[in-house]
């Protein structure tokens, strides 16, 4: 495992969701990378993320990675964090069993979401839940 990934999982195990903030341009990068997503600077500091954001769109059609395939169908969506980063991840608290439920759910977006850490198959992952 890459050192940055190991650190990510170590922090999650302690209940901490960390990102990085660029000391040059001020942009946040989440999940953490070794370079700033905006300016490619390596002049970075680790910061605790608020875990607050908005759900922009979601669906349940994306297949889970092989490791999580037997967990069944889940909702996945696009999150825009309060700090700026946008990324795709698992969403709880939305309806996704039928195309109609997904369509109706998307009509009321964006809605506020909050990050939580969940242990899945011995691995800590970050899931976003509709408030
Ligand atoms: Zn930067």
Q: How far is the CA of 27 from the centre of ligand 1 (A)?
A: 5
Q: Judge if 70 and 113 occupy the same domain.
A: yes
pTM of the entire predicted model: 0.84
Q: What is the mean pLDDT of residues 55-71?
A: 78
Residue range(s) defining the domain that contains residue 69: 50-131
Q: In this structure, are 2 and 33 located in the same domain?
A: yes
Per-residue pLDDT of 17-54, as tens digits, reads 999 999 999 999 998 999 999 999 999 999 999 999 99
| Whether residues 11 and 67 fall in one domain | no
Q: Give the integer Cα–Cα distance in Å for 55 and 91.
A: 9
Rounded CA Rg of the chain: 15
- Are 119 and 60 found together in one domain? yes
| Paired tokens of 42 | 């390596």
What's the pLDDT band for 8 if we cut at 50, 70, 90?
A: very high
In this structure, the answer to whether residues 15 and 44 fall within a common structural domain is: yes
| pLDDT tier, 100 (very low <50, low <70, confident <90, very high otherwise) | very high
pLDDT of residue 63: 63
CA 93 / ligand 1 centre spacing (Å): 33
Specify the CATH number for the domain of residue 105: 2.40.50
What is the domain count for the chain?
Answer: 2
Provide the pLDDT for residue 69. 72
């Amino acid at each position: 495992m890459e050192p940055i990934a190991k650190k990510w999982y170590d922090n999650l195990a302690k209940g901490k969701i960390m990102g990085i903030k660029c000391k040059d341009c001020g942009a946040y990068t989440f999940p953490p990378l070794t370079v700033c997503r905006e300016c490619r600077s390596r002049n970075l500091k680790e910061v605790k993320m608020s875990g607050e954001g908005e759900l922009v769109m979601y669906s349940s059609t994306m297949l889970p990675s092989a490791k999580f395939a037997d967990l069944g169908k889940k909702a996945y969506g696009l999150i825009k964090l309060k700090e700026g980063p946008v990324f795709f991840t698992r969403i709880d608290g939305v309806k996704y069993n039928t195309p109609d439920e997904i369509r109706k759910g998307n009509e009321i977006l964006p809605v506020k979401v909050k990050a939580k850490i969940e242990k899945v198959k011995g691995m800590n992952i970050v899931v976003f839940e509709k408030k």
